Amino acid sequence: MADTLIVEKKYAGPPGIGNGGYVAGLLAREVRGPAQITLLRPTPLDTPLRLEHEADGVVNAVRDGQTLASAKPAALDLQPPHNPGAEAARAAAGMSPALTRNVHPICFVCGTERDDNEGLNIYAGPVDDAGTVAACWTPADNLANSSGCVDPVYIWSALDCPGAFAFMATHQPGFLGRITGEVTGQLRANEPAVVVGWKIGAEGRKLHAGTAVFNAAGQVVGLAKAVWFGPA
């Protein structure tokens, strides 16, 4: 197991801090099976964080005595929605708020100011009026390991932003607070995938969303549910 964790500058979400899905993916490497990651404080970039492993499987990312994020084994009870297919996902992406609202232009996942090889370019847009969004994603070669399969940390990243985009027609998601997910299959580089986000429910500032990644064969390779916090 690793002793430290570093979020490089290129994996920023909002300016100056790590993308929540990417941070979750790094911590999920330390947990066997489905993992629940809680983001307690913004994760600084290019800064070593100490990983503290507890006896019950909990892993904390710590800096200056403060826990910034925590991961633990978890059960994931979530059914993915219908896969809308690549054509519908491509059409939905063309209506994404990312293209018109300047949400987080440098975000590693949904930023529109990233070159193809510098970000995931996942622009989720509405599929229906019920709060389901989708996007196409063709992972680049630089996201894959020696076998040509996308590193799970990038699938975790893809499971982040579309959950927030599911709420953008009715709410203003502020930041990712917790994500519980699992990478369940393989995704190959240069093969088209479909990423889907959907509303689960809302409780005051807490917005509950689901996300899923489908490979070119239509199989679910990543699944997550998340809690987003809107502005106070």
> Domains plus CATH for the chain?
4-73 (3.10.129.10), 86-229 (3.10.129.10)
Average pLDDT over residues 79-90: 94
pLDDT tens by residue, 142-160:
999 999 999 999 999 999 9
Say yes or no to pLDDT of 46 above 70.
yes
Predicted confidence band at 1 (pLDDT cuts at 50, 70, 90)? low
List helix spans (H) across the chain: 20-28, 86-93, 152-158, 161-165
Q: 221, 87, 102, 70: which is closest to 158 by C-alpha?
A: 221
**pLDDT at 2 (0 to 100):** 67
Percent of the chain surpassing pLDDT 90: 81
CA distance 125 to 104: 15
Instruction: Tokens for 158, please give them.
Output: 């893809």
**pLDDT at 9 (0 to 100):** 96
Average pLDDT over residues 169-196: 91
**pLDDT at 170 (0 to 100):** 73
Instruction: Please give the DSSP secondary-structure letter assigned to residue 84.
Output: -
Instruction: Tokens for 189, please give them.
Output: 């580089």
Record the pTM: 0.95
Instruction: Tokens for 203, please give them.
Output: 């409780």
Strand locations in the chain (E): 4-5, 35-39, 49-53, 59-63, 66-73, 125-126, 132-137, 175-183, 193-203, 206-214, 220-229
Q: 83, 71, 52: which is closest to 179 by C-alpha?
A: 71
pLDDT tens by residue, 21-39:
999 999 999 999 999 999 9
Say yes or no to pLDDT of 125 above 90.
yes
Q: 100, 101, 118, 96: which is closest to 109 by C-alpha?
A: 118
